[in-house]
Amino acid sequence: MHKIYFATGNAHKLREAKNILGDVGYEVEQLDCDYPELQADDLETISAYGARWCADKLDRDVMVDDSGIFIDALNGFPGPYSRYVEDHLGNQKVLKLMEGETNRKAVFRTVVGFCLPDGEPRTFTGEVVGTISLEERGTHGFGYDPIFLYEDQTFSELEDIKKNRVSHRGNAMRKFARWLELNLR
């Protein structure tokens, strides 16, 4: 089994990465690297910056992950600012912003950034289209999972195995794994 180093402090993301990449022959090891999060309007720029910063600082190949939820009725908000909005407003206030909206379409997007020391970062984007529910539902997952509906269930109502098969993070990590297979083995 090949090892991938993942710079994250998020235990939920780590568990999902281990499950997804483990299925295709990669062991994921968490790295303690509190990198500065670049403020930008797109996830690709943020992930590429984080991957390069960590790879250079730790002198090893590193993967990072940045995710966001982009809600149509809110003009793509919170997008790359999803973590900040989650920490300061939470799902209930996002639902309040959505009151009366008939267009509840949303896209969950993850960008995996990967970089070798002194290399150029590569990014792998995955997304899933769904809608924003009217209320929080479910006990699994984290973040916006309780309000993101996919085929009539929130991500928090899905077991990890099913969620990982369809999720934004799963899609991005499978693209990353395919690239690794072709380029680094």
C-alpha distances in Å from residue 95, one per residue of 73, 108, 131, 165: 12, 16, 12, 26
Q: How far does CA 80 lie from the centroid of its chain?
A: 11
Q: How far does CA 48 lie from the centroid of its chain?
A: 14
- CA angle (60 as vertex; 36, 45 as ends), nearest 5: 40
CA 177, CA 162: separation in Å to the nearest integer? 19
Q: Which residues contact 11 (CB under 8 A, 6 or more apart)?
A: none
- 1: DSSP letter: -
Structure tokens at 111: 């960008």
66 is annotated as an active-site residue: yes
Q: How far does CA 41 lie from the centroid of its chain?
A: 15
In the chain, the amino acid numbered 143 is: G
N-terminal to C-terminal alpha carbon distance within the chain = 11
34, 41, 42, 66: the active-site residue: 66
Indicate which residues carry an active-site annotation: 66
